[in-house]
Structure 1
């Protein structure tokens, strides 16, 4: 079958689940991964075709997509901040909003003294996307990454090797931690922040396949991770050290109030590209 014919069938088969643009993006992601062809190749060579074996593979992938298994898990990889990351059922799929947080951190360090050694801690690292992107783009950084999941940490270690950076991975339950035992210039976290009451807003491909351990908090204690990490930051940030959070879009005011009540200074709330309250920056006194 000609690839362009299959493309139409592929998009049509997913039309009840995804909009056309998203289904088409899946098609080209898979085409590049499985056949090393880009959109332009198909445009220039419209008669390219799939073999029977390839059709069998594509049909199997299509059936999994119909179940709303994330395409990134099917491919075992994704792109984040210009880097490639392995992803699997043990880690969240990195989001564009988190790229914005990484970008904010990197840009905030450009005025730092050249050659100054920075110690950075990423709490709840998952795939390692934040820690590794920072290590890759801040050459003078020594980066540490904590996660409660040993399987997530194993993924982060593989991603560090893939992207040729050194990060120190630490297995630790941050809620059971009273001291980080060393000082950091930057602490960053994208912890679980989705309340159970918000589950109805979550798409099936996230709700059924991404790790709940990294997603959800109780409705009546939604800031539990932020409060704990902020307490640790008070002890373990260097003077004028910075604390960055990705946050629940509905809890921006609550986050600002919490940080100010804990005597953090220069508290700043930023919106993401979609106009949602999404990240905060603050400093210790």
Structure 2
């Protein structure tokens, strides 16, 4: 079998799950991963016979894709903010929306008006694959970056990604709902679980069956539980004029802003993502500093 015939086979096997353009994209990425051909090379080699070893790799990948397993887990890595990250079912697959949050943090930390933040410290809460922490470190090299996660499996992958991308990150195994620390930070950033159980009903099957629920879902009764805990942590551990940055549930933007205001944060900004959805919140400083927290 050659690659042209293999594409036809992929299409027949996956058409019940994906549309044709998605299948072509999946196939192209799979070919680059297994055979090392980019799109131009794929076209040049479309009629060449596939060697048996690689053909078996393609069939194994296809069998996993047919179950709805995301391509990123099948090939074992993905690209985020121009960097390669290893991923598995222990961590969420990084999303483009999160790249926008990283971009905003870099923009604020690197701006002339943020001189007080230069050469500072960053804490990423709920780091998962490490994509936020590592991307920030690669673009804000003078900052000391730490990252927390409750999952040891996630931290193992994040540590591997830090080595892969030559980024020095201090990883901490902790649950932010109970974590206490005397360390102070200039920037606290987080993309915590924020999808309610009610919203879960509308989610794609391949996400529900493959990505870690621990990193995705919160109860309908306490949808802001992690935001409130992180905000309380920031009241104790964020330096004066520091930044608190969140990726948020698109339906809870106003509630998140109100919660931060109620906790005395100021300069609160709500920003939409490229799809026009409320997706990020940034706050700086506090109205009153209470060192008795």
Same fold flag (TM > 0.5): yes
Aligned counterpart, 1:164? 166
User: Which structure 2 segments of 5+ residues have no match?
Assistant: 287-293
**Counterparts of 1:57 and 1:232, CA distance in 2:** 47
Aligned counterpart, 2:276? 275
Aligned counterpart, 2:107? 107
Aligned counterpart, 2:124? 122
Is the CA contact (8 Å cut-off) linking 1:102 and 1:133 kept in structure 2?
yes
Pairwise CA distance, 1:152: 0.8
Residues 182, 53 of structure 1: alpha-carbon distance in 2 compared, 3 angstrom cutoff: closer
Aligned counterpart, 1:144? 146
**Counterparts of 1:100 and 1:115, CA distance in 2:** 20
Deviates more, 1:147-156 or 1:41-50: 41-50
Any idea what the Cα deviations from partners look like across 1:47-86, whole Å, max 9, x if unmatched?
2231233333212211211100111111111110000011
- Which stretches of structure 1, 4 residues or longer, exceed 4 Å deviation after superposition? none
Aligned counterpart, 2:189? 188
Q: CA RMSD in A?
A: 1.4
**Counterparts of 1:65 and 1:127, CA distance in 2:** 21
**Counterparts of 2:54 and 2:271, CA distance in 1:** 46
- Aligned pairs, number: 284
**Counterparts of 2:118 and 2:167, CA distance in 1:** 18
- Secondary structure in structure 1 of the residue aligned to 2:115: coil
- Secondary structure in structure 1 of the residue aligned to 2:177: helix
**Counterparts of 2:11 and 2:101, CA distance in 1:** 33
Pairwise CA distance, 1:114: 9.4
Residues 15, 257 of structure 1: alpha-carbon distance in 2 compared, 3 angstrom cutoff: same
Pairwise CA distance, 1:42: 2.1
Residue pairs, 1:1-285, within 5 angstroms: 1-111=1-111, 112-113=114-115, 116-177=118-179, 179-285=180-286
- Normalization by structure 1: what TM-score? 0.96
Is the CA contact (8 Å cut-off) linking 1:42 and 1:48 kept in structure 2?
no
Aligned counterpart, 2:289? none
Any idea what the Cα deviations from partners look like across 1:219-241, whole Å, max 9, x if unmatched?
00000000010011111111110
Pairwise CA distance, 1:169: 0.3
User: Which structure 1 segments of 5+ residues have no match?
Assistant: none
- Normalization by structure 2: what TM-score? 0.93
Pairwise CA distance, 1:260: 1.2
